Amino acid sequence: MKKKIICFINIIIDKIGIIDLFLIIFMCILLAQTSYNLINNEINPNLNSIDTVVRTTTAGLFGYFMGKNFVCSYTNVQNKKCLDKGVNNIQIIIIAIIGIVSLIILIYVRNVNLDLTNRVASLSQLRDFVSSSTGFLISNAKKN
């Protein structure tokens, strides 16, 4: 089992590169933290600066995944040239997953009737991820 996991990780690194793999891991951790804070009412005014860093970093990573640099780093790692100017399947999968996870979190928070007073910034960011993801997918639907 351990060999299969290591083999799988090596395949992923060969496909997207180790830097992008770590950026994806960062994004997963940041989305998990945002979800935890929203669902468990862990909003603390003394931690606003940390929450701001989480939201800013998450937005930066999301922008990177939507951008050309991610496509270029994935398309031809060996030559360090961006041969494909369009989107690729890994980019589409990552953007779709971020949008779907954000939508699920928003629906959950809405349906459990939490006090949303201190959660506006995080909720707005998740809303932006859902909107941007769907816009990205719609704009690239005919290209793939």
Query: Who's near 143: CB < 8 A, 6+ residues apart?
Result: 86, 87
User: What is the model's pLDDT at position 26?
Assistant: 92
pLDDT for res 49:
73
pLDDT at 103: 93
**Spatial distance between the Cα atoms of 68 and 86, rounded to a whole number of angstroms:** 8
Q: What is the pLDDT of residues 96-136, one digit of tens each?
A: 999 999 999 989 888 887 777 777 888 888 999 999 999 88
CA angle 22, 98, 17 (to 5 degrees): 25
- What pLDDT is stored for residue 74 in this prediction? 54
Which residues of the chain, if any, have pLDDT below 50? 78-80, 83
What is the model's pTM?
0.74
